[in-house]
Chains A and B, each alone.
Chain A
Amino acid sequence: MPGTGIGSRLAEVLVVGGGHAGCEAALAAARLGKDTLLVTGALDRIAAMSCNPAIGGVGKGHLVKELDALGGEMARAADDTGIHFRILNESRGPAVRATRCQSDLERYRAEMARVVQGAPGLRVRQDDVVALLVVDGRIGGVRTAGGEELRARRVVLTTGTFLGGVLHRGAERWPGGRTGESPAAGLSTSLAAHGVLLGRLKTGTCPRLDARTVDVASLPEQRPDEPAPRFSVDSGPPPLPQVSCRLTRTTARTHGVIRAAANDGRAPLFNGQIGGRGPRYCPSIEDKVVRFADKDSHLIFLEPHGLDSHELYPNGLSTSLPVDVQLAFLRTIPGLEHVEVTRWGYAVEYDYVLPTQLSAALELRALPGLFCAGQINGTTGYEEAAVQGLLAGINAVRSLDGLDPIVLRRDQAYAGVLVDDLVLLGTEEPYRMFTSRAEHRLLLREDNVGARLLELSDSLGLASATRRARMRGFEDAVRARLRELTETRVEPSVANVLLQRVDGTPLKEATTLLQLFRRPEVDVPLLWELHGTIGDIRVDERVKVELSYQGYIERAHRDLARDRALDDALLPDAIFAAPPPGLSHEVREKLVRLRPRTLGAASRISGVTPAALGLLAVELRRIAASAP
């Protein structure tokens, strides 16, 4: 049945889904000069936060800063609409130190929608996409529920939890992508019809509480940090007033209510109603109570939805128990004795695209031209989604321009770790970023994002010139400071008095400030005293990190230099079409299925032996030699 096609000119990039991934993908494509069309189920739900009103955190804050460096929008929007900023892990080392904020949920959504709606070259359309249009094995566009055929040269799918979405609460189950929104019917079928393999996952969310029925004043307060840390290099101080969160905890009675419901077979998670695999690290409260029976209390953060909202998000209470149980257990929690619920918690089960079918550009190998990003790829979290959206948007544009895709290295960015993990290892539970997933964690810090990504960002030109100039300014300042400290000498007569105060070994002769700053006992304020002037705190803290981690950083770079050659060796398609003889059956099967982009990626696949790499390398050479 031909669509009308009326009014819809061929888009260069068409993005399906206006969530966190979709917004970044659409903005990136449009800003890189492509005629872009964003099709999403509900225009007034663009960039909605389905779950908690927070952005950042350990590993996630890192992703947001990387996104900022490459030209994404989330960091700045979060800075402008955040109402509570904190640094996590302040005392646990610079690599795991991370920024997190509570967002004013509605203001965040509105801000993002404003930017998307106002972006030149970006058209938006409210409709549900129900099928893919495939022409000669390539993506050609999409069909909507309204019966339109929207043609496009590249398509980015960012449909979140909407594919075959089923919501669960108690014995109820109903189709939906998110509460109040219908699921993407048909799209799963269309993907499957084109040979795309889907898996099933589940996740859940908390009930929301009416703050006016909570005894807030009786609960301990968690204050934001002063001054507020920022995600984007573009941001000044937060424009919105900053507020506190409250803490409370579950009690033995809470656990009793939950356990009784579970025993009565009323928990969909345990009675077989939900089959999809949920994340181990983001368990529902019923999961926590049952699996960690010896823990008699769990900490709950009460996070405000926003400045103008009376809703609270009780972080830690994700649940799909029946509503009467939800209310009953909530009221056993200190401060919530008289609580009223504004929205009930629920779980969602949804289809995802097994991400090992994607190339490192996030393009589906089965359907060239079709990119996938966000929760559809098996991840969870706004930040994980956003950074994939950005990369998919960039790579869709590059493929239109006949350029090689942007593939970040694992030692370069958490975004690189994320994509590499997804496409090479796949995931069987919703994938969330942890810093422990990065083998080069000490290199991937929030403080050195510029050093890691500025060069790439300059070549992409997606981030504004001002943003890149700011990053360059900071990196230059760090270098200049290092030089200055190397050139400035201090006399024992000056230094020893100050060193004595921190039990430092006294100097025998004059030495450079750099040498002194290397010492563990010399911190930034002491450096300033030794220097006799006050420096830039951010610059000096960065210098301190570089100095104290120098040994590790150098060792890591030595290791990396070895792997670099492998990561530079691209494997052409021909090698998978006819793998060299001599490979074991297992290795051959894995290579053909996963199609690693480089020898380095191949080396990270389990079971690929150095001998197999040798064979691939020889084949690579043979192919190169026989090329015209």
Chain B
Amino acid sequence: MTFDLLRVDTICALATADAPAAIAVVRVSGPRADNLRHSMFVPRHGAQRPYVATRGDVLDERGRVLDDCVCTAWPDGHSYTGEASFELSLHGSPVITRAVLRSLVARGCRLAEPGELTLRAVLTGRIDLTAAEAIDDVIRARTDEAARAAGRSLRGGLAKAVEGPRAALVDALAEIEARLDFPDEELGTADVARLAARLAAAHAALQRLLRTSSWGARLRDGARVVLYGPPNAGKSTLLNALAGEERALVHHEPGTTRDALEVELELGGTRVTVIDVAGVRPLADVGAVERLGIARADQERARADVVVALVPADAPDALATLHALGGDVLVLSKVDLGAPKVIAPDVCLVSAKDDVGLDALQVAIARKVGPPGPDDEVTLLRERQVVCVQDAAEALARAQSALDQQAPGEVVASELRSSGRALDRLLGKDLGPEVLEAVFSRFCIGK
């Protein structure tokens, strides 16, 4: 198990409990803490002073405001961990904390292992001052283990997904290592073309995993939110309202939207892709082009992380129709045309025209995008998993180019090992013995 530590890299972690709460604290510690703070936190009034809780905006790496928060900074040698560090007290939404953590990661910060902040505190000799807090943190580290257990099922699928690439690494390492450690054996030359092809496939698989698996895609592109409902429900209008600009063509003629339109938006501090699709209605009533549009809508619905179902409030049996349609977020639209008679607690009432209920709708969507509260640690695990797969893919790419440039076997092997170690971090396994096993079962070695 490799474990990064101390004064070399800068780490971040959620420091408060994982249940949804009024306030969530993200802690950042390490040599780059000050730089990170300057780049992502803009104090509301003047300059920030150490130790003083300061109000301001926290920005993502593209300069967009993620939240309005309170930031406290400690100089090197005077913080909880003993390193330069700062804390952001955010609004307690998993969506916001995730966005902030993700943006820290995008800036080169590493997600701390559970208990790692405390470990740093201990190793820098700071723990005496804050012993009580530290113990608390360690208890939390134990609940992290529970979260780990929860994440295990998720990892099971992942383990399957990286099995192929990992087997390719073991294969290539066995071929290379055998020749490095046993030069006097007649092993012939490795089939470099075969290895290169296998590594290329492995790399493609890792890339695919990052791109298409729901968690990978979500973290990269944000969640996919599809607006789904009958024609003329006001889907395109709602999209434009959410986007704050004219993106979709709006028309009272039903069936105006035939293809799907995707717009990237910022919702409640997190990035989402909202998809506006063709309205759904009985296929008998529609022409061939619209039929394709409807098929596409159903595909998008199947792929989406969050389905927002829309029915105009003034439609006959609006509420029943809406429930029949189903979805993660239910919306009665055009409420300006007349409020519904019965009000269901789980339904958002929205008028895109009069800007009614849009904030509440955003919150409702954001809540669905973020995992439910107790699952938050699992989310963090997921982000760590993504980082592991990314590291594995990068090292593998370096190995491929080394192989390609006919670098010495030890160099190729070194990159393959880094790639393998990244996957090992993900799976809690150890590649080493497997490589040796492969060497000895494949080659007749030894005098």
A-side residues, CB < 8 A to B, are 52, 58-59, 88-89, 92-96, 279-283, 288, 291-292, 295, 298-299, 301, 315-316, 318, 434-437, 439, 441-442, 549, 552, 558-559, 561-566, 569, 582, 584, 603-604, 606, 608-611, 613-615, 617-618, 620-621, 625
Contacts and interface: CB of A to CB of B under 8 A. Distances in A.
A96 B447 contact: no
Interface string B180-199: 11111110000000000000
Contacts of A614: 114-116, 118-119, 122, 137-138, 141
A280 B116 CA distance: 39
B180 A279 contact: no
Contact of A437 (B127, B183, B432): B432
A315 B447 contact: yes
A581 to B, nearest CB: 10
Nearest to A59: B181
B119 A617 contact: yes
Q: Interface centre among B123, B139, B144, B446, by most A CB within 10 Å?
A: B446
Contact of A436 (B128, B436, B445): B436
A298 B439 CA distance: 17
A58 B138 contact: no
Contacts of A318: 447
B314 interface: no
A62 to B, nearest CB: 11
Given A606-B430, A617-B123, A620-B122, 14 more contacts: A96-B181, A281-B439, A283-B444, A315-B447, A316-B447, A434-B177, A439-B417, A563-B2, A582-B138, A609-B145, A611-B142, A615-B141, A621-B127, A621-B128
Interface stretch (B36-44, B217-225, B304-312, B403-411): B403-411
Contacts of A608: 1
Contact of B410 (A96, A439, A604): A96
B285 to A, nearest CB: 59
A42 B115 CA distance: 56
B414 A552 contact: yes
B4 A611 contact: no
Contacts of A94: 408, 410
17 contacts: A96-B180, A283-B444, A288-B444, A299-B184, A301-B447, A318-B447, A436-B173, A436-B436, A437-B432, A559-B2, A562-B8, A563-B3, A582-B142, A603-B3, A610-B115, A611-B142, A614-B118
Interface of B: 1-9, 113-116, 118-119, 122-123, 125, 127-128, 134-135, 137-139, 141-142, 144-145, 148, 173, 177, 179-186, 408-411, 413-414, 417, 421, 430, 432, 435-436, 439-440, 444-447
Contact of B115 (A92, A563, A615): A615
A316 B446 CA distance: 7
A561 B116 contact: no
A299 B137 CA distance: 61
A89 B180 contact: yes
B6 A611 contact: no
Given A58-B182, A617-B122, A281 B3 contact: no
B409 A562 contact: no
Contacts of A565: 5-7, 123
B436 A434 contact: yes
A288 B113 CA distance: 46
Contacts of B127: 618, 621
Interface hub of B9, B135, B139, B141 (most chain A Cβ within 10 A): B141
A618 B414 contact: no
A435 B186 contact: no
Contacts of A617: 118-119, 122-123
B11 to A, nearest CB: 11
A618 B135 contact: yes
Contacts of B115: 610-611, 613-615
A569 B8 contact: no
A357 to B, nearest CB: 21
Which interface residue of A280, A620, A621 has the most chain B CB atoms within 10 A? A621
Contact of B446 (A279, A301, A610): A279
Most buried by B among A52, A95, A610: A610
Contacts of A549: 411
Nearest to A433: B181
Contact of A281 (B5, B179, B445): B445
Given A566-B3, A614-B118, A92 B179 contact: yes
Contacts of B179: 92
A610 B116 contact: yes
A181 B339 CA distance: 102
A569 B445 CA distance: 40
Nearest to B410: A93
A424 to B, nearest CB: 12
A562 B444 CA distance: 39
A277 to B, nearest CB: 13
A292 B118 contact: no
B444 A436 contact: no
B3 A299 contact: no
Contacts of B141: 610-611, 614-615
B135 A436 contact: no
A92 B181 contact: no
Given A281-B446, A316-B447, A610-B119, A436 B1 contact: no
B426 to A, nearest CB: 14
Contacts of A434: 177, 181, 436
A620 B432 CA distance: 30
Contact of B114 (A58, A584, A610): A610
Closest 8 CB pairs of A and B: A614-B115, A93-B408, A610-B113, A611-B141, A93-B410, A280-B440, A617-B122, A565-B6
A315 B115 CA distance: 53
Contacts of A566: 3, 5-6
Contacts of B134: 618
A75 B167 CA distance: 40
Given A292-B444, A610-B116, A95 B410 contact: yes
A615 B142 CA distance: 9
Nearest to A569: B123
A427 to B, nearest CB: 11
A618 B122 contact: yes
A92 B409 contact: yes
Given A436-B435, A608-B1, A552 B123 contact: no
A562 B6 contact: yes
A435 B440 contact: no
Nearest to A613: B119
Among A315, A437, A609, chain B packs the most CB atoms within 10 A around the CB of: A609
A611 B145 CA distance: 8
B180 A58 contact: yes
A611 B183 contact: no
Contact of A604 (B1, B8, B114, B119): B1
A331 B346 CA distance: 90
Contact of A88 (B113, B184, B444): B184
A549 B439 CA distance: 26
Contacts of A439: 417, 421
Given A301-B447, A621-B128, A435 B5 contact: no
A92 B408 contact: yes
Nearest to A299: B186
Contacts of B113: 610-611
Given A436-B436, A562-B4, A89 B118 contact: no
Given A299-B185, A618-B127, A92 B444 contact: no
